[in-house]
Amino acid sequence: MAMTPSATISVDIAGAPYDVRIAPGLIDRLGHEVRAFVRKDTVPIVTDTHVAAHWRLRVDAALGAAGFTAQWLVLPAGESTKSWAHLAQVVDFLIGQDIERRDRVIALGGGVIGDLTGFAASMVKRGCGFIQVPTTLLAQVDSSVGGKTAINTAAGKNLVGAFHQPALVLADPDTLNTLPARETRAGYAEVVKYGLIDDADFFVWCEAHGASLIAGDSQARVTAIARSVAAKARIVAADEKELTGTRALLNLGHTFGHALEAQTGFSSRLLHGEGVALGMALAARFSVRQGLMDAHDAARLDAHLRTVGLPATLGGLDLDCDGRQLADHMLHDKKMDAGTLPFLLMRGIGQTFLARDIDLQDVAAFLDGELCT
Ligand code: NAD
Ligand code: GLY
C-alpha cells in the first residue's frame, strides 16, 4: 500500500519555535491536531465566505470529534478584507469570545485571513495565540509561516502590521482541491521563488514537477510545500525581523511585482502571485542587462513560467503607463532604506542577492523596453 506523503518542519524562532505539519487529510483531524494547543472547549475560528462554503462543515465535524465547538467569524473574501474595519471586527470578536493570552484563535484561509487574524491576535490582550490553517498554495508555502501579519491602508499594501508568530501551522494539500486553478498557479510562483533564491536543484525539481503539482498531484504538493517551508523556516530563523538582509531574499520578484500590482489597482487583473512571477522574470532579465546573469538562465525561468501558465512578460497586462511611472511605485516600497531601494537580483538560478546600488533611472529605462515587447 502506498504511504500517504507527509512532513513536519520546525521553525526555530528563538523563544517561540513551532511546527508546520503538512499532510493530506489533516483538516479532518483538526481537532486532534490542535488538542495540545487549545485549552477551552470552544475555539474561535476566522475564515472567509469562499473557504467557509467549502470547508466549514468538515471543520465543524473534525473539531467536534475532539470535543470542541467552533465559534465562527466568516468575513468577506478578498484583499479588501485586510482593512482597519475588518481588523476591528476580528479584535471585537476575539474579545467577545473572552480570549485569554494563552488561548489560540484559528485562522482558516489564505494569506488574507492569515495576515488579518494574526495581526488581530498580536494586539488583543497585548498578544494572544493563533494557529494557521492555510488553504491556498500561497499561504501553505509562504504567508502562514514566518509571522508577518498586516492590513492594507489607503496609502498602500501591508503598511500596518506586526511580527507575530503562530503557535502551529497545519497545511493540508487536500484543501487546495477546491481552490480555483488560477489561484493555485499564482501560489506556485512562490514555490519557484525558493528555487531561484538559493536552491538550483529545487528549480530543476520545479521544472520536472510544477505542472503536475498544479494539476493536483498530492505527492508533488507535499514535496513542494515541505521544501518551500523548510527554506522559509531557515531564512526566518536567521533573520526573523528582516534586519540583516537575509529575510529580504524572500522578496525576490516583489519589487517589480508590487509596482505592477499598484499599477493595476491591486485588482483581479493581476493576482499577487502572478505579480511575483512577472517580477521574478523581470528581475532575471534586469540582472542579465546589468551583466550579472547569463541570458540562458533568464530564458529558462521564462520558459518554466510559461509552461505552467504564469505570466513572464508585460504584454498581457495592457498597461497604459511608461517605465518611469512603474518605477515611481517602487519609491513607496517598504524596503526603502535611507532613500535607496535594495533590489533582489540574480547571478544565476539559485544565486539571488541584495543589490543596494541600483539606479531607479536604469530600472525605468529597462521597463520602457519591457513595455514595448
Ligand atoms: P486570499 O487569501 O485572498 O485567497 C485567494 C482566494 O482564494 C480568495 O478568494 C479566497 O476566498 C479563496 N480561497 C482560499 N482558500 C480556498 C480554498 N481552499 N478553496 C476555495 N477558495 C479558497 O489570497 P492568498 O493568495 O492566499 O494570499 C494573498 C495575501 O497574502 C496578500 O494579502 C499578501 O499580501 C499576503 N501575503 C502575506 C505574506 C506573509 O508573509 N504574511 C506572504 C505572501 C503574501
Ligand atoms: N513573504 C516574505 C516574508 O515572509 O518575509
pLDDT tens digit sequence for 284-342: 999 999 999 999 999 999 999 999 999 999 998 999 999 999 999 988 777 777 667 88
Is 329 a residue of the active site? no
Region 178-201: mean pLDDT is 98
Mean pLDDT across the chain, nearest whole number? 95
**In this structure, are residues 275 and 266 in contact, taking their beta carbons and an 8 Å threshold?**
no
Which protein residue has the closest C-alpha to ligand 1 atom 27?
A: 111
For residue 144, what is its C-alpha cell?
Answer: 502562514
Dihedrals φ, ψ of 322, to 5°?
A: -115, 180
Determine whether the shortest distance from the Cβ of 297 to ligand 2 is under 6 A: no
Which ligand does the CA of 107 lie closest to?
1
Cα separation, 9 vs 14, in Å, equals 15
* 7-178 and 181-371 share one fold: no
Task: State pLDDT tens for residues 72-127.
Answer: 999 999 999 999 999 999 999 999 999 999 999 999 999 999 999 999 999 999 99
Q: Are strands 129-134 and 148-153 parallel, antiparallel or unpaired?
A: unpaired
Res 3: pLDDT? 67
Q: How far apart are alpha carbons 82 and 133 in whole angstroms? A: 17
Ligand nearest to the Cα of 268, by number:
1
Q: Is the CB of 165 under 6 A from ligand 1?
A: no
Return the percentage of the chain with pLDDT > 70, whole number: 99
Q: Does ligand 2 lie within 6 Å of residue 79's CB atom?
A: no
CA-based angle 107:218:138, to the nearest 5?
40
**Of the candidates 250, 284, 25, which has an alpha carbon nearest to the alpha carbon of residue 138?**
250
How large is the average pLDDT for residues 226-233?
A: 98
Task: Please report, to the nearest 10 degrees, the dihedral formed by the alpha carbons of residues 170, 173, 174, 176 taken in order.
Answer: 110
Q: Averaged over 7-12, what is the pLDDT?
A: 97
Q: Which is catalytic among the residues 227, 258, 285, 329?
A: 258
* CATH architecture assigned to 7-178: 3-Layer(aba) Sandwich (3.40)
- Measured from the CA of 232, which atom of ligand 2 is nearest? 4
Of the candidates 232, 285, 304, 329, the residue annotated as catalytic is: 232
Residue 79, classed as helix, strand or coil, is helix
In angstroms, the CA 333 to CA 19 distance is: 31
Q: Please give the model's pTM, rounded to 2 decimal places.
A: 0.96
272 is catalytic: yes
Hey, what CATH topology would domain 181-371 get? Answer: Dehydroquinate synthase-like, alpha domain (1.20.1090)
DSSP letter for each residue of 256-307: HHHHHHHHTTTSTTS-HHHHHHHHHHHHHHHHHHTT-S-HHHHHHHHHHHHH
Whose cell is 500517504? That residue is: 4
Q: Half-sphere exposure of 292 toward its Cβ, with a 13 Å CA cutoff?
A: 20
The answer to whether residue 234 scores a pLDDT higher than 70 is yes
Would you state the cell numbers that stand for residue 299, as one nine-digit string?
A: 530564458
Q: What would the mean pLDDT of 46-58 be, rounded to a whole number?
A: 98
d(CA 328, CA 191): 28
Tell me the per-residue pLDDT of 246-268, one tens digit each, with 9 for 90 and over.
999 999 999 999 999 999 988 89
Residue 83 Cβ contacting ligand 1 at under 6 Å: no
Work out the angle between the directed axes of helices 295-307 and 200-215 (0-180°, nearest 10): 20
Q: Would you tell me the crossing angle of helices 218-238 and 181-198 to the nearest 10 degrees?
A: 50
The better pLDDT of the pair 234, 245 is held by 234
What atom of ligand 2 comes closest to residue 146's alpha carbon?
4
254 is catalytic: yes
Q: What is the reported pLDDT for 12? A: 96
The pLDDT score that the predictor gives to residue 341 is: 80
Q: Which sequence spans correspond to the domains of the chain?
A: 7-178, 181-371
Beta carbons within 8 Å of 61's beta carbon, 6+ residues apart: 28
- Mean pLDDT of the 3-31 span: 94
191-205 residue pLDDT tens: 999 999 999 999 999
What integer pLDDT is reported at residue 370 of this predicted model? Answer: 97
In angstroms, rounded to a whole number, what is the distance separating the alpha carbons of residues 57 and 114?
Answer: 20
The sheet carrying 129-134 orders its strands as 7-11, 18-22, 168-171, 129-134, 104-109, 42-48, 69-75
Ligand 2 atom at minimal distance to the Cα of residue 142:
1
